[in-house]
Chain A
Amino acid sequence: DTGVSQDPRHKITKRGQNVTFRCDPISEHNRLYWYRQTLGQGPEFLTYFQNEAQLEKSRLLSDRFSAERPKGSFSTLEIQRTEQGDSAMYLCASSLSEGAGDTQYFGPGTRLTVL
């Protein structure tokens, strides 16, 4: 068990550019979540996958954001036409579904800075 990994760990981009983040969950975990954390706040839910199906998206996820989980393995989160308000830590978590009380295992996060 190597844990949840995320790449890159840091990304600095200019406003208007597109960025893509990758998350590799724990191998047998069928659930995958994306959260966003801004300074001084707790993580906020963005989206959830059960295997390859994206089953819920937060209203925080504008149409500039898209997430995929092809073949139910790794996931990508893309932000198009980045804005300064997108600057945040993007966290990925995975779990093995046992009901609503699953323990989610978090990756180290990708810190995005939009200049």
Chain B
Amino acid sequence: AQSVTQLDSQVPVFEEAPVELRCNYSSSVSVYLFWYVQYPNQGLQLLLKYLSGSTLVESINGFEAEFNKSQTSFHLRKPSVHISDTAEYFCAVSGTSYGKLTFGQGTILTVHP
């Protein structure tokens, strides 16, 4: 079985500041790791995922996440946030052959002008 803990339920930041959203997981098997984003009044969208290879993965809109196996973490970072990054972010893991996702509780990122 897998579990995911997102350590911060809400993260307020000012525009152009850096941000880190923390995610820790536990699993008895190898996992794949995901970050999904939910913008206001929209459905969940994949932001980025780690399957294998380089432990640093990037999204097209400037976010990156690093898989740290020893610390069982997959923290999400962005060096400079925009107002449009305001959303709820979910970390998720999959360890099954068919991709069932186990999600964390979510982190609401609010970017203030």
Contacts and interface: CB of A to CB of B under 8 A. Distances in A.
A81 to B, nearest CB: 27
A106 B96 contact: no
Interface string A27-38: 000010101000
A43 B42 contact: no
A33 B105 contact: no
Interface size class of A (residues with CB under 8 A): 20 to 34
A21 to B, nearest CB: 15
Interface stretch (B13-21, B43-51, B63-71, B76-84): B43-51
Contacts, number: 68
Given A40-B105, A101-B32, A48 B49 contact: no
Nearest to A4: B43
Main secondary structure of the interface of B (DSSP, over half): loop
Given A42-B90, A106-B45, A101 B99 contact: yes
Contacts of A101: 32, 49, 51, 94, 99
Contacts of A108: 42-43
B104 A104 contact: no
A85 interface: no
30 contacts: A4-B43, A31-B98, A33-B101, A35-B101, A40-B9, A40-B106, A42-B4, A42-B92, A42-B103, A43-B101, A45-B100, A91-B44, A97-B98, A97-B99, A100-B32, A100-B94, A100-B95, A101-B32, A101-B49, A101-B51, A103-B46, A103-B49, A104-B99, A104-B101, A105-B46, A106-B44, A106-B45, A108-B42, A108-B43, A109-B43
Interface of A: 4, 31, 33, 35, 40-45, 48, 50, 55-56, 91, 93, 95, 97, 99-109
Interface of B: 4, 6, 9, 32, 36, 42-46, 49, 51, 90, 92, 94-106
